[in-house]
Amino acid sequence: MIEINLTDQNFEQFIQNSEKPVLVDFWAEWCMPCFALGPILEKVAQEYTEKITLAKVNLDVAPQISQKYKIERIPTVILFKGGKPIIGFIGVRPESLVKEFLDEALKKVSEAEIPENIEEIIKNYQTYAEENGFKLNPDRETVERLLKGLLANEKKYGARYCPCRRVSGNREEDKPKICPCQWHKEEIERDGHCFCGLFVKNSY
């Protein structure tokens, strides 16, 4: 596993620019509990590699950052997203409790990523569906997950490309994948739902 060591000089830039949430382990060479927790965090981080990035901050190397986030006891672990601390814990925890913490923390991150105008976006898609003889998926959780994928693509590529289709980066090639995509009506008629499941038949 690649270990990312952050300092006063690179900490802010790293956590602000990271596409994934960053789990930061604040530790020190003289802290024995830190050496007990470190391998547990590394093992869990490998299992959650698609969801988080693990970074370490040695208090003696990064005193300014440690002071900024009021790190008074170690080990302290904090999950950051978009440069902001979301939630954390102090002390050694077994693997099962670290995973429990991460699941809850990532849920908070997911909820925080839901845009303020989510209701307006959903309403627009509902109106579109009704006007075309089908409906929006009645599962709210599925709809929000897909919308976050659409908005993430909009932020990254400049358009709301279907999150379930590969985006090449070529605007002309990708144009048919902008939601509602070129194939959604045919898929709804044939399969009862579009490829990603955002739209479904009225009888679905």
Q: According to the model, what pLDDT value does residue 204 have?
A: 63
What's the mean per-residue pLDDT of the chain? 91
Predicted TM-score (pTM) above 0.85: no
CA 128 – CA 120 distance, rounded (Å)? 12
Q: According to the model, what pLDDT value does residue 54 have?
A: 95
Coil, helix or strand at residue 81:
strand
Q: According to the model, what pLDDT value does residue 115 have?
A: 65
**Token digits of residue 200:** 């479904």
The alpha carbon torsion through 23, 151, 148, 54 (nearest 10 deg) reads -10
Q: State residue 195 phi and psi, 5-degree precision.
A: -55, -45
Amino acid identity of residue 139, one-letter, is D
Coil, helix or strand at residue 134:
coil
194 tagged catalytic: no
CA 107 – CA 105 distance, rounded (Å)? 5
Low-confidence ranges of the chain (pLDDT < 50): 1
The domain locations on the chain are 4-112, 118-200
Q: According to the model, what pLDDT value does residue 144 have?
A: 86
> Among 34, 179, 181, 196, which one carries the catalytic annotation?
34
Q: According to the model, what pLDDT value does residue 2 have?
A: 54
Q: Which residue has the tokens 């627009």?
A: 124
Q: According to the model, what pLDDT value does residue 151 have?
A: 86
Tens of pLDDT, residue by residue over 78-112, are 999 888 898 999 999 999 999 999 998 888 777 66
Q: According to the model, what pLDDT value does residue 117 have?
A: 76
Q: CATH for 4-112? A: 3.40.30.10
CATH of 118-200, one of 3.40.47.40, 3.90.460.10, 3.30.479.30, 3.40.50.1000: 3.90.460.10
For the beta carbon of residue 1, count every other beta carbon within 10 angstroms.
Answer: 9
34 tagged catalytic: yes
Tens of pLDDT, residue by residue over 2-18, are 568 999 999 999 998 88
